[in-house]
Chains A and B, each alone.
Chain A
Amino acid sequence: SQKIEQNSEALNIQEGKTATLTCNYTNYSPAYLQWYRQDPGRGPVFLLLIRENEKEKRKERLKVTFDTTLKQSLFHITASQPADSATYLCALGTGAGSYQLTFGKGTKLSVIP
């Protein structure tokens, strides 16, 4: 069966450290993968997209890797800050033409001052 797993429901890290979140999938062949941030009571907000032929993408303190052999994406936040505390969702481009997104359940990140 198809599955998207984000490594943990919750992750606590110390301010200033690098947070690493994992997204693993099975029985999908996504053309791309996206990461979203969701704050409590709000809709998800797009952060980064990485295509199947790309290994790494960066945006400011964010870095995403995509390994189609391992069927895994890693999402890194360097020099983490309390304001980075949120739930982070990975989403695969699926369906005909890859126009649909299938979401993981998310990882709740808490950055402790």
Chain B
Amino acid sequence: DADVTQTPRNRITKTGKRIMLECSQTKGHDRMYWYRQDPGLGLQLIYYSFDVKDINKGEISDGYSVSRQAQAKFSLSLESAIPNQTALYFCATSDRSAGQGVNEQFFGPGTRLTVL
């Protein structure tokens, strides 16, 4: 979905390096999410943010941090990358005005990260 963009699309890095993945959206949504996807494990929530001042840990936040620089931007950082953080990372957004219980999420194209 071109409304949600992620950069870079592919990244190869070395163990111990700091990496930032960026997500931007033009949908005007308040809520943004970061997931990782591993073969056989499905999508796992890393962090989510319901507005610029509200950031929450997901089920697998250890080793990651995030920054919500603006409503439209949500960045994911790996402070010191390790090989088991090799995965496909997705950013997603959803619309607060849709109301409770209606939470269709719009996903970006993903970032394939390889940590050597």
Contact partners of B74 in chain A: CB under 8 A: none
User: How many residues does chain B have at the interface if contact means C-beta atoms less than 8 Å apart?
Assistant: 26
Is the CB–CB distance between A43 and B90 below 8 Å? yes
Contact partners of B108 in chain A: CB under 8 A: 43
Give CA–CA (A32, B105) in the complex, Å. 13
B64 within 8 A of A: no
B103 within 8 A of A: yes
Give CA–CA (A65, B44) in the complex, Å. 25
Contact residue among A31, A44, A98, A102 (Cβ-Cβ distance under 8 Å from B107): A44
Contact partners of A113 in chain B: CB under 8 A: none
A76 within 8 A of B: no
User: How many residues does chain A have at the interface if contact means C-beta atoms less than 8 Å apart?
Assistant: 24
Give CA–CA (A93, B58) in the complex, Å. 14
Name A74-105 residues within 8 Å CB distance of B: 89, 93, 97-105
With A49-B102, A100-B45, A100-B48 already in contact, the answer to whether A42 and B109 are too (CB < 8 A) is yes
Give CA–CA (A98, B31) in the complex, Å. 13
B100 within 8 A of A: yes
B43 within 8 A of A: yes
Contact partners of B103 in chain A: CB under 8 A: 32, 34, 93, 98-101
Contact partners of A51 in chain B: CB under 8 A: 101
Residues 81-108 of chain B, each 1 if its beta carbon lies under 8 Å from chain A, else 0: 0000000001010100000111111111
Contact partners of B31 in chain A: CB under 8 A: 99
Is the CB–CB distance between B40 and A98 below 8 Å? no
Contact partners of B90 in chain A: CB under 8 A: 43-44
Give CA–CA (A49, B94) in the complex, Å. 14
> Which residues of B does A touch, CB under 8 Å?
1, 4, 31, 40-45, 48, 50, 58, 90, 92, 94, 100-110
The 6 closest A-B pairs by CB, nearest first: A43-B107, A105-B42, A103-B43, A31-B101, A46-B104, A103-B42
> Which residues of A does B touch, CB under 8 Å?
9, 31-32, 34, 41-46, 49, 51, 89, 93, 97-106
